[in-house]
Structures are given as C-alpha cells and as structure tokens.
Structure 1
Amino acid sequence: MPTIDIVELPTAEKLKLMESLWDSLCMAPVNDIHSPAWHAEVLTERMRRLDAGNERVSSWSEAKERIRNQVKSS
C-alpha cells in the first residue's frame, strides 16, 4: 500500500481521502465495529440526566443552527 504525507495534501484531497475512508467503514460488517466502553458510560449518564429532566433537548434544526453558529465564531 502506498504511503502519503496527509499533512501536505490540499484540503480538497484530504476531504476526498476522508470520504473514501468513511465509505470503506460503512461497508464493513457490523460485527467488525465496536464502540469503546466509555461510549456506553456516556450514553448511560445522558439517559439518566434526560430521565431526571436535567438534560437539554433540541430539535435537529436547532442543533444544526447552534453548530453552524459555533463553527462561524471559531
């Protein structure tokens, strides 16, 4: 397999590479992909907070707008 210096690639090429990697991962058998244990811990804690009424809930459109604003300001 050829090696490349990713740091030296133009942004457009980095995006193409990332898309290729993502497409490859999407085709992987489900049994080959495992979440780390801390993912389950975070989800359990968030569900506990949600059930207790201590977690903020947003619609998808509100969340996208909040993310866009964060990206614009950084």
Structure 2
Amino acid sequence: MSYSLPLHKMTLAEKIGVMEEIWEDISKVSGEYEPPFWHAQILDERKRLAETGEVGFTDWETAKREIRESVS
C-alpha cells in the first residue's frame, strides 16, 4: 500500500499536524512494533560509553544555547 501527500503544497503547520496524527495512531499500537536488532546494539554501545566516561552529557538549556550559537 502506498500513499502520497502533496507535501510541496502543504504548509509547515499542516505537515506537523499530519505527523502528530500519525504518531498518535502509532502510539496506540506500539506493542505491535519490534525495533530492529541493531537499535539495541547502538543503545548498548551508547550506554557503555556513558558508563566508562568516554562520552558526557549536556543539560538541555546548555545544549539549546550551544546549538543556537553554532547556527547563528
């Protein structure tokens, strides 16, 4: 089954609205989806890196400020 939306004619608000409707529907049946095996591998690796201190974390406010600074 294939669907096509007139994305080039839609406003950003319309596109986000469609995504929200799709996400709301998906969240109702999330138990039916099993993520691919490689997702678990990536999460395991990221957990290992965090536990060994090879990567750090930034609080959300700092991250937003750094992103804004890098794109302006």
What TM-score do you get using the length of structure 1 for normalisation? 0.69
- Name the count of aligned residue pairs: 70
Code of the aligned partner of 1:69:
R
* Per-residue CA distance 1:23-71 (angstroms, 9 max, x = gap): 10111141x12212221111111111122111112334434x257527x
Which 5+ residue runs of structure 2 have no aligned equivalent? none
Percent sequence identity over aligned pairs: 27
TM-score (norm 2): 0.70
State the match for 1:69 in structure 2: 68
* In 2: Cα distance, 1:53 partner to 1:29 partner: 33
Alignment partners' CA distance in 2, 1:23 and 1:53: 36
Is 2:58 the partner of 1:58? Answer: yes
Q: Does 1:7 align with 2:8?
A: yes
Provide the secondary structure at the position in 1 that maps to 2:35: coil
Distance 2:20 2:41 in 1: 29
The one-letter code sitting in structure 1 at the alignment partner of 2:10 is L
What's the Cα RMSD here? 2.6
